[in-house]
Chain A
Amino acid sequence: MSVDCAHMEEDWDLFALGSLDEAAQQKMASHLQSGCQQCQRRYMEAQTGVVSIASFVPTHQPSARVERDLMKRIRQEERMAATGPGIAPAWLRWSLAPWALAAACLVLAGWFFWQQRRLGTELTTARNDIQTLRRAVTSTPAPASQSAIAERLSAENPPAVRVPNPQLNPAQGARFTSADTAALKQKLTEMETEIANLQKENSSLATARAEAEQRGVQLQSEMSAAETRTEDLARKLEAAQTSSTAANQAEIAALNNQLSESRAEVQRLGQVKIRNAQIESLLQSGSIQQVDLRAVDPSAGKAYARVLYSPQGGLLLVATSLPKLDHEKCYQLWLIRKGAPAILSGGLLQTSDDGRGFLFAPPTNDLAQLTGLAITDEPKGGSVSARGHKLLFGAQ
């Protein structure tokens, strides 16, 4: 370390944390690149300490949707690279004469137009197929193997994977071109991925169902114990009251307290049990849809809500980070749907002081036509039509 960099000695930790101001950060980066080995060692030591901080973080699991979206993004990119008018390579951009480029563009434009039309037709077919598969898979009551699903599909929908219409290639009669085969293979791969994802979702739902059932059994047992305890206390209280003397007045008061607490516990467990039964029923209903609601108004802060619903099972909403509302207001969910009325109340959220919100709405046909969901702040008791601020919104 030279005299020039001795003053940096104390700052390597801040540099590794990225906590210096930009000028200082740049100065130290330049110094490292100048080749001072002692400072390079010191920086590496600092980095080791800094990155180890990541190991203290409690573990959380991302939702399955992230994996799906990531793969979708990559496949879209691959498709664009394969078929779309991507960025031309540098040699094409800079070294070809303008007329050659124009001619190439004309040819490419014609080819892309034809390709786009052909792929558009195939894409529509593939989307229809995937929709059929999605409906078939999501209505499967428990996770099934891919082969079982394929068997079922072939029984229910014989033309699940449509081959290109021979009339599209009149010159070749009913024979498929290699492009058709490649396109079919691509579609098949995509559909298989889709099936795998849906199976995974089904599996998660099956786990959630099993957990809900187990929770239900536990709750029943806890509730029976609490009821027995309450009955026992009531008997003791009655006995103490019938032989009321000055000596057992204190005992009666204590028993009264215990009885109140026990009854409150029975009531609380009863509510939890009802809520659990509602969730269980929703999870068992099949064809569950999910909508995520995000803050659309600055006053909603980081509020976030997830809704699971099915017309047969009802609607379950769980929200987090809801800002505390004024005492005279409440959160109300709105169902945005096709047809009239376009906006219907979905109910009022039960909220807790830690910003969590919960709502369960019973099954209704209105859920079949849902296109979106919104949460507003309304006067206490709710409104007939949405008048408050739209705080969260999610589209189907």
Chain B
Amino acid sequence: MSTWDHEDAELLAGIARRDSEALLALYRKYSSRVFSLIYRILDDRAAAEEVLQDTFYRLWDRSHLYHPEKGQLISWLLTVARNLALDRKRKESRRAESSVFLTGEESGGFDLDTLPDMAAVEDPDLNRTLRRVMQELPAEQKAAIELAYFEGLTHQELSVRLGESLGTVKTRIRLGLSKLRKAMKDYRKVML
């Protein structure tokens, strides 16, 4: 599913040995991408920097929760960062909620922490393709996806915000994400 990054694996092993230089190397490698996402969600540089620090501290403190076979480290970092950023955003708007994902608890059966391929982040051509697809999405689909992903709105909140029924909101998100997935699949077919 994902490409095994030997450098990351070595650095993670270093973190397990409590080698702070290993964390520093991973921070320097991924902090910009992780920060960009947090900053997009919070729109507050100071708060985003605090969440960035917390994200990498979590990597230091709970690196055992990340398993390379489940997916790429950047996917894990981005997922943790998004959850922390949305939690903070919710707390700030006095809507404390806990994230369902990445609670750190081992679960039986299917592992909810299994991570998707983040090739789009690594591959600039795929990134461009997806960006174009996103730009070409109908405005209402794009808005629904962005509000759900960056604002962390539930489908009910989306329904209120957009003035549409729950069914319409779900359809918009499903159609938009389905186009993104199709673009990724088509890109891979061409590349193969």
Contacts and interface: CB of A to CB of B under 8 A. Distances in A.
Contact of A32 (B27, B43, B110): B110
A57 B57 contact: no
A78 B21 CA distance: 13
A40 B173 contact: no
Interface in B21-69: 23-24, 27-28, 31-33, 35-37, 39-40, 43-49, 52-53, 56-57, 60
A35 interface: yes
Interface in A1-53: 10-11, 13-14, 17-22, 25-26, 29, 32-35, 40, 44-53
Contact of A29 (B37, B97, B112, B184): B112
A74 B23 contact: yes
A74 B20 contact: yes
7 contacts: A10-B174, A19-B173, A35-B109, A50-B177, A52-B184, A62-B49, A78-B18
Nearest to A49: B177
A103 B27 CA distance: 43
B35 A35 contact: no
B174 to A, nearest CB: 5
Range of interface residues on chain A?
Answer: 35 or more
B177 A74 contact: no
A122 interface: no
A370 to B, nearest CB: 20
B165 interface: no
A58 B170 contact: no
Given A22-B100, A62-B49, A321-B44, A51 B177 contact: no
Interface in B76-116: 78-79, 82-83, 86, 97, 99-101, 107-110, 112, 114-116
Nearest to A294: B46
Given A49-B181, A52-B184, 19 more contacts: A18-B100, A19-B152, A19-B158, A21-B156, A32-B109, A32-B110, A47-B115, A49-B177, A50-B177, A53-B146, A54-B118, A62-B31, A62-B49, A62-B52, A66-B49, A70-B56, A71-B24, A75-B20, A294-B46
Given A10-B174, A60-B36, A69 B53 contact: yes
Given A48-B181, A63-B49, A33 B149 contact: no
Interface residues of B, number: 70
B73 interface: no
Nearest to B128: A55
B176 to A, nearest CB: 8
Given A32-B110, A304-B46, A67 B31 contact: yes
A13 B174 contact: yes
A302 interface: yes
A67 B24 contact: yes
A71 B20 contact: yes
B32 A62 contact: yes
Contacts of A19: 148, 152-155, 158, 173
Contacts of A10: 170, 174
Given A17-B148, A29-B100, A32-B110, A55 B53 contact: no
